[in-house]
Each structure stands twice: as C-alpha cells, then as structure tokens.
Amino acid sequence: MKDIKVLGTGCANCRNTVKLIEEVAAERNVAVNLTKIEDLPEIMKYGVMSTPGVVVDGKVVHAGGVPDRAKISTWL
C-alpha cells in the first residue's frame, strides 16, 4: 500500500489533486493511504514552498500545480 500525503491549505488545486489521486488509484486497483495535510508548519517540514505538494512513501515527488494523470500513475 502506498502512503500518499497531499500538502496544501485547502485550495481548489489541492482538492483536485486529492480527487485525481483517488481516481487514478481506483482505476489501477492500487491501495493507497491518502492523507491531506493542511497545517502550514507541517507542510513546511517537507520543504514545499508551493502547493499542492505530494509526498509518496516519505519522499516529495511533486510541488506546485495539479499533477496530470500520467504523473500520478508513475507514483503508484
């Protein structure tokens, strides 16, 4: 199971990123533990300066803008 965190303060791009990850994971039948982190000090711990940020299994893989489906697929 992949541990995925979406870092963001609740903006539309952050919500869309969560939704896309859920959709792609469901399409590929991949189990994910998806967490949304909105606490700014917690986000800063990852060194993410532009949101949404995505952390997969403890590693920052994306920051700034909504990732596309192809990119999400590579994380899964």
User: What CATH number did the domain enclosing 17 receive?
Assistant: 3.40.30.10
Structural domains in the chain (count): 1
pLDDT attached to residue 10 = 85
What's the distance, Cα to Cα, between the start and end of the chain in Å? 9
Answer whether 0.85 is exceeded by the pTM. yes
- Which of 6, 7, 14, 63 is catalytic? The answer is 14
Domain holding 47, by residue range, is 2-75
Q: Is 5 a catalytic residue?
A: no
Nearest Cα to 14, choosing from 64, 74, 72? Answer: 64
Q: Is 11 a catalytic residue?
A: yes
Residue type at 48 in one-letter notation: V
pLDDT attached to residue 71 = 96
pLDDT attached to residue 74 = 94
- Which of 11, 12, 44, 49 is catalytic? The answer is 11
* Tens-place pLDDT, residues 18-74: 999 999 999 999 999 999 999 999 999 999 989 999 999 999 999 999 999 999 999
